[in-house]
Structure 1
Amino acid sequence: MKNEQDEKNAALLSAAMRAIRLDRRLRTSEVARALDMPLRTYEHFEAGRGKMTYDKIVRFAQATNSDPVAILLTIPLKSPEFALRCADNKLMTILTIALGELNEELGNDIEFIEPGTLIGVFTRVVKDLTNHVANRDLFAETWLNEKSSKVDGARPAGARNWRFKP
């Protein structure tokens, strides 16, 4: 029997997996078949009532082409949306691979990396990624605004209330 915290964790994982499945436009029967599970067993699993194991989460991620590490991180982050946001770019799998390489490279010397250094490095990475996304979006919007006049009937990227009227 699950305690209250286990139920909360199962609900977070359940919400993440359901969001990913729906985003992928997959039916429960399709995912159940891909996981080689009876439909009802899969439905219990996705609802958070079945036994959650790392292996099952990895198999779900393979079946839905999503990020198993991001799914697991829905629990400490308390954000099922995080798993969906990382499903396509595999952010947490990539980070885990990079950390694995750091572990292989440094081995026991990892303990000599001071917390202040880690905070500084990861803060810079977060800022760099945030700036990258912001600049990418600005580039596309600027480009569309400048070029839309070349296409008859095109409107600038920020234009709204644009509907066909017969």
Structure 2
Amino acid sequence: MKAHFLMFAHYNAWANRRLYAAAGALADADRRRDAGAFFGSLHATLNHLLVTDVIWLARLRSIQGPPWGLDHIAHDDFADLTAAREALDDDLIAHVRDEADPAGTIAYRRVSAPDPVVQPVAEALAHLFNHQTHHRGQCHAILTRIAGEAPELDLLFHQREAAS
């Protein structure tokens, strides 16, 4: 099971690099324009993904995460956001490879609710990577609408590239 999640950690980093490269080609105003996504703009959606991954990685490590809301803008500057995303993706890969025990459990409290939560690590990792895919799809749609095209992000393309 660990190999399964490690593949998703690598896919996650690959897809984020492709998405950020395409987003970086846009004008800053286009990245910040409300595009009707759940978090509004491409910039806000990318921040949401970073914020949630920081929170989940803290939970997976059994440490207190930041008290951010899910709409928190962790990095207003796109270059800073990109650098933070790349570092976080590297950290997620390292965590899954070296620390995560998919058979274990984690315990945490959400910022929005005081009740303690105990959850299997495998379920938390599945959520983290599925959540990324969900919101990257929104980012892909925004990019397609603004730029007329967006990069291929399908897992199958990552797997073929990794195999070659």
> Normalising by structure 1, what TM-score?
0.25
Q: Name whichever structure is richer in strand by fraction.
A: 2
Q: Name whichever structure is richer in helix by fraction.
A: 1
Q: Which structure would you say has the larger RCO, counting Cα contacts within 8 Å and 6 or more residues apart?
A: 2
> Normalising by structure 2, what TM-score?
0.25
